[in-house]
Chain A
Amino acid sequence: MADLWLERELARQLAPVAAPESLWDRINEQQRIPRRRVSFDRAFWPVAVAMVLLAFAGVLRNLTVDRDPPIAAGSSGNFDFRSNNFDDIRAWAKTEANIDIDLPSGQLAPDRSDVQLLGARLIRQRGLPVAAIDYRVGGEAATLFVSGKRGGLSGTTEAAGHLFSRINARLVSWNVGNQTYTIAFSGAKSPHGACLLCHT
């Protein structure tokens, strides 16, 4: 047991103090208030950052492709697999890189007359295989990136689980199971046109 003098001094010298007024401003500048039902596992962020970087590259590429007719884009030689059939592209991604591509209904959205698949590429990002599927919606270019499986990810296909970009490039990212999906879309005419790939 400490002597009385020491206990008294410790209580006096280590007494609580008031926090400075500026503390809230510091926190407020930094904080991202979590929104209801939007939960991102810590392990999601490194992949999300990689996906966004890839998505930017996709947007730039697709904006360039935008100047040419769709078939010209497909014939530019950048595809590892050229097809306008979703099932074929999905089977190819599974065979080549063991990547599952799961859309909400298991297929493209029923009303897919506006969606034109062009082909797919395989990319490796820090050892993680990523399938990049190029398509056009209403005449505008879009790319869907689907990562390979990665431990520690979780998520749902609910709209609340989607992360939308706040910058000019139109990006939307979400997790399904232990995979990350990201769509990059030039979106000049229709901001949510890329969503037609999965949603009516």
Chain B
Amino acid sequence: MVLEENGNELIEGCQRGDPEAFRALFEKHKDMVYSIALRYSGDPAVAQDIAQDTFLKLFSTIGSFRGDSNFESWLYRTVANSCFDQKRRTRRLTPLLDDVLAALRTPDVSVLDEVLRAELSTHVRSVVESLAPDQRMVIVLRYTQGLSYDEIAEILGCASGTIASRLNRAHKVLERRLSRFAKQQQRRTING
């Protein structure tokens, strides 16, 4: 279980308007919020906008948060909604593997490994970013935060079965679009 118990003292401090409590709450959750925003959007500038929006919403509404619900679920829900609200910006350019390889006059093995690794990273993230928003969010919550189906279902307000279905569809898309890299990786593992 990744979701933690409520930090009641911090939350109560924020509800009293204590600036130190706001800062402490931010420090506690900033990496989680920013990571989801970055992995969902794929763009550091957009991720900062999403994270900023999330914390501003959090600070302005924390007075209405009731202790009988899970704070982290509430925060996850807020960041997920901020992600969904964010307009997609211009996609980054993805360098093509062939172009990079062509630039290498004498491919050294270690350099080639590094290039392939960078290219794989770019492609995996690019394919994730191309998923439909609901599938992408499930993938991000699953692999960035390591949440269970039930936890994701609670955050997104749907059944666990729906989450399983979205995750399954997303996996199929990712497998199809990344099959070239998977085969390449398998060949290198066998040859290496």
A156 to B22 alpha-carbon distance, docked (Å): 26
Say yes or no for B139: interface residue by CB 8 A criterion: yes
Interchain CB contact under 8 A, B128 and A34: no
Binds B, one of A12-20, A121-129, A131-139, A171-179: A12-20
A89 to B33 alpha-carbon distance, docked (Å): 54
- Give, as a whole number of angstroms, the nearest-CB distance from A31 to chain B: 5
Partner of A17, one of B26, B34, B60, B175: B34
A196 to B48 alpha-carbon distance, docked (Å): 47
Say yes or no for A49: interface residue by CB 8 A criterion: no
Interchain CB contact under 8 A, A16 and B52: no
Known A5-B182, A9-B120, A39-B63; contact A27-B34, beta-carbon cutoff 8 A: no
Interchain CB contact under 8 A, B171 and A2: yes
Per-residue 0/1 for B102-125: is the Cβ within 8 Å of any A Cβ (1 yes, 0 no)? 000000000000000000110011
- Give, as a whole number of angstroms, the nearest-CB distance from A192 to chain B: 23
Say yes or no for A71: interface residue by CB 8 A criterion: no
Interchain CB contact under 8 A, A16 and B48: no
Interchain CB contact under 8 A, B120 and A33: no
Interface residues of B in 140-157 (CB under 8 A from A): 140, 142-145
Interchain CB contact under 8 A, B139 and A14: yes
Binds A, one of B12-20, B70-78, B80-88, B89-97: B12-20
Q: Looking at chain A, what size class is its interface with the partner chain?
A: 20 to 34
Interchain CB contact under 8 A, A27 and B174: no
A39 to B56 alpha-carbon distance, docked (Å): 15
A35 to B182 alpha-carbon distance, docked (Å): 54
Interchain CB contact under 8 A, B56 and A30: yes
Interface residues of B in 23-80 (CB under 8 A from A): 23, 26, 30-35, 38-39, 44, 48, 51-52, 55-56, 59-60, 62-64
Q: With a CB–CB cut-off of 8 A, which chain B residues contact A20?
A: 34, 44, 48
Interchain CB contact under 8 A, B143 and A27: no
Question: How many chain B residues touch the partner (CB < 8 A)?
Answer: 44
Say yes or no for B162: interface residue by CB 8 A criterion: no
- Give, as a whole number of angstroms, the nearest-CB distance from B11 to chain A: 13
Partner of B124, one of A13, A18, A36: A13
- Give, as a whole number of angstroms, the nearest-CB distance from B178 to chain A: 7
Q: With a CB–CB cut-off of 8 A, which chain A residues contact B165?
A: none
Interchain CB contact under 8 A, A3 and B48: no
Interchain CB contact under 8 A, A31 and B56: yes
Partner of B34, one of A7, A11, A23, A36: A23
- Give, as a whole number of angstroms, the nearest-CB distance from B77 to chain A: 18
A27 to B22 alpha-carbon distance, docked (Å): 11
Interface residues of A in 28-58 (CB under 8 A from B): 30-36, 39
A33 to B26 alpha-carbon distance, docked (Å): 13
Q: Which B residues are within 8 Å of any A CB, using their own CB?
A: 15-17, 19, 22-23, 26, 30-35, 38-39, 44, 48, 51-52, 55-56, 59-60, 62-64, 120-121, 124-125, 128, 139-140, 142-145, 171, 174-175, 178, 182, 185-186
Q: A6-B174, A18-B31, A19-B34 are in contact. List 12 more A-B contacts (CB 8 A).
A: A9-B120, A9-B124, A10-B124, A10-B139, A14-B125, A14-B140, A17-B35, A22-B48, A24-B30, A26-B52, A35-B17, A39-B64
| 15 pairs from A and B in contact (CB 8 Å cutoff) | A1-B171, A2-B171, A3-B175, A3-B182, A13-B125, A17-B34, A20-B44, A26-B52, A32-B60, A33-B17, A34-B59, A35-B17, A36-B15, A36-B16, A36-B17
Q: Which A residues are within 8 Å of any B CB, using their own CB?
A: 1-3, 5-7, 9-11, 13-20, 22-24, 26-27, 30-36, 39
